[in-house]
Amino acid sequence: MNVKISQIADLIKADIEGNPEVIITHPDKIETAGEGAITFFSNPKYEKYLYQTRASAVLLDKQYKLIQPIPATVLRVENVYLALSTLFEFFDKTKVQEKGISGLSSIHPSVRIGEAGYVGPYTVIEENVIIGNHAQIGSQVYIGSGVQIGDHVRIYPGTRIYHDCQIGNHVVIHSNAVIGSDGFGFAPDEHGKYNKIPQIGSVEIGDHVEIGANTVIDRASMGKTLVKEGVKLDNLIQVGHNVVIGKNCVIAAQAGISGSSQIGDNSQIGGQVGISGHLVIGDNIQLAGQSGVITNLKSDGTYFGTPAFEMNAYMRAYAVFRQLPELRKEVLSLKKQLAELNKS
């Protein structure tokens, strides 16, 4: 693909410093970009590459001041990462989308598929499924009976969606994700034997959600497990039954959310965070990686540790914790001195 810098500037609403007629063929990382590439700079760790790059164009924040000229044409934007998102979406849309139904798929006659859709080979779609317009369903996908899928959904190969789940519009589900598997519900009897509690609820995924590879979202025991609009889930995340994840939350890899917990809107949860069941996590919270949450958390806070508590308090406690060996030596020394004083 060939596109002029002036066209890109119009797309991302950028101010141009340099030659607007230069042709861009692809995006690339700042440390490896060459002629024809457009790259970006935002993280100070990569500053040296900004002055070494051989890219043809660089996205820069409007406030950033160059300490020396660079040969690349500069595109100044208000938000580098937001501009990058628009740019990548533009380049991604140039890829040809597949259309049509593979003859190697197995689709029940009752299934309704919207216009301009695609279903790959060896995909199985059970009865009474409804799929919206412009859906892209890869190979070896399983979609159970009664599932509803919205418009402009992309489902990558190997995904499994169990019966009666609902998937919104503009949703992306990556390979080997499982939506609607049974929640972890068992009841012990008087002999200590665990009896399975049937999980008769479903899962509802809102619009503009992205679900990473190998992530599992359990169906509700009754009612719905809810992943609301705009949520972004990384790979290898476990979402338990009847969990509610609020709008525009982002959750990093290997996090686990136990059953019936609720997470408020616009929250950010780091990797390997564990959240116990039946908790209420507020809006606009940040949970640092590897935190363990065992109590409700108020809105608008940053939390860390196991059990997780307010970040600043944790860091003060950690500063003391690191000194415990030395403090112990001092206490023992003082005890020894005190014992000697008592003898005298």
d(CA 217, CA 146): 17
Q: How far is CA 332 from CA 320, 329, 336, 341, in A?
A: 17, 5, 6, 14
Which among 170, 208, 241, 278 is annotated as catalytic?
241
Note if 241 is an active site residue: yes
Backbone angles phi, psi at 324, to 5 degrees: -55, -40
Kindly write down the DSSP assignment for every residue of 72-138, as one continuous string.
SEEEEES-HHHHHHHHHHHHHHTSPPP-EE-TTSEE-TT-EE-TT-EE-TT-EE-TT-EE-TT-EE-
| Exposure class string for 157-182: b at 16+ Cβ within 10 A, else e | bbbbbbbbbbbbbbbbbbbbbbbbbe
Q: Give 118's strand partners.
A: 100, 136
In terms of DSSP H, where are the helices of the chain? Answer: 5-12, 47-50, 80-93, 311-322, 324-343
Cis upstream peptide for 325 (omega within 30°): no
258: tokens are 């136990």
CA-CA distances (angstroms) from residue 81 to 41, 234, 236, 269?
9, 18, 24, 19
**Partner residues linked to 113 by β-bridges:** 131
> Which residues are identified as catalytic?
241
